[in-house]
Amino acid sequence: MSATSGRRVGLWLIGAFGGVATMITVGLAAMAKGLRDRTALVSERPAFGHLNRPEPADLVVGGHEIRAGSLMRSAEEFRAISGVLDRELLMACSEELAAATSRVRPGTIRNAGATIARLADWAPDEERLPLAAVLDRLTADIDAFAARERLDHVVVLNVSSTEPPLSAKEFPPTWDRLNASLASADPPRLPPSSLYALAAFRSGHSYINFTPSLGASFPAAYQLAEAQGALHAGKDGKTGETLMKTVLAPMFVHRNLKVLSWVGHNIFGNRDALVLDDPENKAAKVGSKDQVVHQILGYRPTTLVTIENIPDMGDWKTAWDHIHFQGFLGTPMTLQFIWQGCDSLLAAPLAIDLVRLADVAKQRNETGLIRAFAPFFKSPEGMEDNDFFRQTALLEQWAQKGPRTT
């Protein structure tokens, strides 16, 4: 492991005191100090060994957040509820956590929906400002971070709570028309995830959406990114149960076994779960988790996905999946799995991978949507295929050759 890549890359976290952001920041510090190894970092696999990946010490963390707090407080809370991480480790990283905390700015709850707004105690009241003013503030925060820290590249990473689902169709289809509407009295109801994306793109920063929220997934944002040479990818990190689905469904395909039903029940108790208690916010998540089975199989067995908030489970996402399938001569058989993973610690390394590989793309002068990041996402943008192994082959091919130009 080289000490440095020669790059200085900013990691701007949306939801900077949340579980995933906290694990990212603790993890980067722990790896930079050599206190923990690189297990769970995909970008450390041999297939990516030839790339000039920014090292943990090369990443500078800042971000937006709507709840007052600090990374150390979040880390301690995480430790208490979920029973992972040592206090010793946190103590050893306290300086880095404090530095990152000092770079966090108040976020926005404009158009965030009631459930998320209720959690906010640090976001300014921007309900009556022109949307353009809100956007300007967010852009200014990120630009100031880039300048102050003398960064080669900033990646804005959305790891905040899931917003209610939204149709991209209601927004003006070009950046020019969208931009013009922002100062109007009745601007489009762009959710925070999209405001951060636009804020990033306006200055040419990269944007990665690790959540199922809208983010950059609408035409005007694509257009702006392309125009500014900004990179983006998404959406919804594939950490546990859905990863399993995209690994197992191809097996049923290749064996020509007919899936009759696929039922998945998820329980966990972190802040994400709390937000998902709101049926609106949950709808976005469940949709993202549910469609992969149909897409891979190519037909529609009965499917059911639930996600329930069970507070005592903390970050321990436990999923039980029951797959009822038909074998030879019509014989029904069953596969069940139980996944017990610490969700934020599954998400954090993938988020770090995305930032490192996005910086490789930046060094290669790629722009716009990076399709090859598909294996990291439940709903990969620009990709129909959810088969994890075909996605992985695509990513490795990208690492080898750069993006396909066809």
Of 198 and 342, which has the nearer Cβ to a copy of itself?
A: 342
Sign of torsion over alpha carbons 251, 264, 345, 351: positive
Smallest distance, Å, CB 317 to a copy of itself?
A: 10
> Least separation, in Å, of the C-beta of 352 and a copy of itself?
9
Nearer to a copy of itself, 291 or 392 (CB): 392
CB of 244 to a copy of itself, least distance (A): 8
Nearer to a copy of itself, 4 or 306 (CB): 306
Single-letter amino acid code for the residue at 131: L
The minimum distance between CB 226 and a copy of itself, in angstroms, equals: 30
Token code pair at residue 291 = 């469609």
The full DSSP string for 22-81 is: HHHHHHHHHHHTTSS--TT-GGGSGGGTTS-PPPGGGEEEEEEESS---HHHHHHHHHHH
- Distance in Å, CB of 159 to a copy of itself, minimum: 14
Which is closer to a copy of itself, CB of 96 or CB of 163? Answer: 96
Distance of closest approach, residue 341 Cβ to a copy of itself, in angstroms: 5
Q: In whole angstroms, how far apart are CA 109 and each of 64, 121, 228, 354, 396?
A: 11, 10, 26, 26, 38
Nearer to a copy of itself by Cβ, of 30 and 182: the residue is 30
Tell me the HSE value of 191 on the side-chain side, using a 13 A CA sphere.
Answer: 27
Q: How far apart are alpha carbons 106 and 108 in whole angstroms?
A: 7
Strands 332-342 and 316-326: antiparallel
Whose Cβ is closer to a copy of itself: residue 254's or residue 364's? Answer: 254
| Burial (0-12, 13-18, 19+ Cβ within 10 Å), 77 | middle
